[in-house]
């Protein structure tokens, strides 16, 4: 087995700390109990070699031998495939987890990140498009609340889908967007209470603080 290498920025501004996407990979690696190291790429002056690893000039990417993988969803699928616990091998259970991975990233995060841009900018103007975006997010959160009201995790056992979905909802919660969705709030609280989340979160904060 190759040692896994996770690349993140050397530094980021204060605001995104604790929410930078290397956290998803760190958390999954901790849950999977896989050996890994974290290396840095410059936040400022992103060069051609950065774009070779990540076509959008973002982070993280994961290196596994001569494989290099960008996109947090693809990285977590890869970690899941190397783990005994985060992605079941039974075809039914595996299919359940994979559809929830996409639900987190394509059905919930699709409205939540654009919504968070407005929150970051403290933009309160209720134009028709903005109302459409808010309704889009609220509908998805209401459906998630119905789903999460009846279960501890998205599938039988905690999986990569829960890492992604709870991290997506955590950003909404940061801006008090879960106040009407008690089951979503409880789910996020359960997820962030896991020791591996805490390890990943504190490691990310320490990584960026070391560069200040």
Q: Hey, which residues between 112 and 151 contact a second copy (CB under 8 A)?
A: 113-114, 117-118, 120-121, 123, 125, 127-130, 132-133, 136, 139-140, 143-144, 146-147
- CA angle 196/39/212 to nearest 5° reads 90
| Size of residue set near a second copy by CB under 8 A | 50
* Of the residues 3, 16, 102, 209, which one makes contact with a second copy according to CB under 8 A: 102
Instruction: Return the structure tokens found at 163.
Output: 């890492």
**Phi and psi angles of residue 3, each rounded to the nearest 5 degrees, phi first:** -75, 135
Question: 24, 26, 50, 78: which one contacts a second copy (CB under 8 A)?
Answer: 78
Supply angle C-alpha 170, 199, 7, rounded to 5.
85
Distances 114 to 38, 100, 107 between C-alpha atoms, Å: 29, 20, 13
- End-to-end alpha-carbon separation of the chain, Å? 34
Which of 107, 190, 199, 205 is close enough to bind a second copy by CB under 8 A? 107
> Contact region for a second copy (CB under 8 A) — 36-44, 95-103, 170-178, 180-188?
95-103
Cβ distance to a second copy smaller for residue 73 or 177: 73
* Residue placing its CB nearer to a second copy in the complex, 156 or 210: 156
Phi/psi of residue 88, nearest 5 degrees: -60, 155
Residue choice 25, 98, 191, 196 for contact with a second copy (CB under 8 A)? 98
Considering the rule CB under 8 A, would residue 92 count as an interface residue with a second copy? yes
Angle separating helix axes 160-174 and 182-192, nearest 10 degrees? 120
- Using alpha carbons, select from 115, 36, 102 the residue that is nearest to residue 72: 102
Binding site for a second copy (CB under 8 A): 51, 55-58, 66-67, 69-74, 77-78, 91-92, 95, 98-99, 101-103, 105-107, 109-111, 113-114, 117-118, 120-121, 123, 125, 127-130, 132-133, 136, 139-140, 143-144, 146-147
């Amino acid at each position: 087995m190759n040692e896994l290498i996770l690349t993140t920025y050397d530094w980021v501004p204060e605001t995104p700390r604790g929410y930078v996407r290397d956290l998803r990979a760190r958390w999954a690696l901790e849950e999977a109990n896989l050996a890994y190291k974290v290396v840095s790429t410059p936040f400022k002056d992103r060069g051609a070699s950065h774009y070779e690893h990540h076509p959008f000039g973002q982070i993280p990417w994961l290196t596994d031998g001569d494989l290099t993988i960008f996109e947090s969803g693809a990285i977590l699928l890869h970690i899941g495939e190397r783990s005994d616990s985060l992605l079941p091998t039974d075809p039914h259970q595996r299919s359940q987890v994979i559809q929830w991975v996409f639900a987190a990233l394509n059905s919930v995060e699709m409205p939540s990140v654009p919504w968070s841009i407005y929150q970051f900018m403290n933009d309160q103007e209720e134009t028709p498009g903005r109302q459409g975006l808010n309704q889009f997010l609220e509908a998805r959160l209401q459906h998630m609340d119905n789903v999460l009201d009846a279960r501890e995790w998205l599938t039988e056992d905690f999986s990569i889908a829960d890492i992604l979905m709870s991290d997506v909802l955590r950003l909404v919660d940061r801006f008090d967007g879960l106040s009407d969705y008690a089951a979503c709030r409880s789910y996020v609280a359960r997820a962030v209470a896991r020791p591996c989340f805490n390890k990943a979160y504190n490691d990310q904060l320490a990584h960026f603080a070391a560069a200040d």
